[in-house]
Amino acid sequence: MNLLFVADPVEHFKIYKDTTFSMMREAQRRGHTVSVCEPRHIRWQQGSQVLARVRDLHLTGDAQDWYAVTGERQVALSSFGAVLMRKDPPFDSEYFYATHLLEQAERDGARVFNKPRALRDHPEKLAIMEFPDLIGPTLVTRDAQDIRAFHQEHQDIILKPLDGMGGMGIFRVKADGLNLGSIIETLNKEGTETVMVQKFLPEISEGDKRVLIIGGEPVPYCLARIPQGSEVRGNLAAGGKGVARALTERDMEIGRQIGAVLLERGMLLAGVDVIGECVTEINVTSPTCFQEIHDQTGCDVPALFIDALEKQLNLR
């Protein structure tokens, strides 16, 4: 089976930790062939199927020159056994348009994971609001007075933009309210942009856990991203330390409850962020941490993913 990965440029992959690379490696190990393109390489012309200019790859096993291009061609997305959307955020206008092109490719007969409509319908921060019993106190608003009232009630809060990634734009305001006005102005841009506000969860000191859900089932290990020094963010991109741990009963409960909903909507893979016992985000664009969990625990997450993919394609 030929798999197409729609991703960021492979030239920039850090293969020692890249989840998309680990998927490709496992797919090739099983005898599947791997092709890649970027969203900018996808085109749809009147009267035609959705096409992409793709490169066919062979993974060499070399740590430096890790791939060889064995061919370049323009081909319909429907000709692949599966198309995997692995483009990293931000979820900007171009990402949005890419989901529309991929959805048209589905109408042409392509099998796309995660489902393009599901990607559009599940903004990664707002999606948690569908599960009020699994989250801590949370407010989504543009209004500065709403934010001030929320701070007055909860005293210690986290503010973040809805389109941030990797911990970018996250602020903590404690009971003294220091710089709250300035932070609100920075994030809501005089009431023109929406902000998420959450009660600060002190359990962050034990890690922001990434619970992976594959085929509706939680992977038995998570990666706890632990803030370092005075940093409040556990994100690896913000300097957090990743420590793999077995899921708690609560983690497993969260994973199964959310996983059942997401799988029904066409999401083969998701990454649920959990602090303490509360969900803080549901990542569906390009969840990561496969290799970190595998390296630390031996749990073969890439194999679990390709198993689930093959099951969806009726190959198992």
- Choosing from 25, 160, 199, 209, which is the catalytic residue? 160
Q: Phi, psi (5° rounding) for residue 185?
A: -60, -40
- Choosing from 26, 208, 273, 292, which is the catalytic residue? 273
Beta-carbon contacts of 65 under 8 Å, excluding residues fewer than 6 positions away, are none
* 225 a catalytic residue: yes
* 273 a catalytic residue: yes
Which residues pair with residue 37 across a beta bridge? 6
* 160 a catalytic residue: yes
Beta-carbon contacts of 71 under 8 Å, excluding residues fewer than 6 positions away, are 55, 56
Residue in the structure block whose two tokens are 């389109």:
163
- Choosing from 188, 209, 233, 251, which is the catalytic residue? 233
Residue in the structure block whose two tokens are 């061609």:
73
- Choosing from 38, 208, 283, 292, which is the catalytic residue? 283
What are the helix (H) ranges across the chain? 19-29, 93-108, 116-121, 144-154, 180-188, 249-264, 290-297, 301-312
- Choosing from 18, 225, 235, 251, which is the catalytic residue? 225
Cα–Cα distance measured from residue 285 to residue 268, given in angstroms and rounded to the nearest whole number: 11
Cα–Cα distance measured from residue 232 to residue 200, given in angstroms and rounded to the nearest whole number: 10
* 283 a catalytic residue: yes
* 142 a catalytic residue: no
- HEC assignment per residue over 24-56: HHHHHHCCCEEEEECHHHEEECCCCCEEEEEEE
- Choosing from 115, 210, 251, 292, which is the catalytic residue? 210
> In what order do the strands lie in the sheet containing 138-141?
138-141, 195-199, 157-161, 171-173
- Choosing from 125, 208, 209, 292, which is the catalytic residue? 125
Which residues pair with residue 138 across a beta bridge? 198
* 188 a catalytic residue: no
Q: Which residues are catalytic?
A: 125, 160, 210, 225, 233, 273, 281, 283
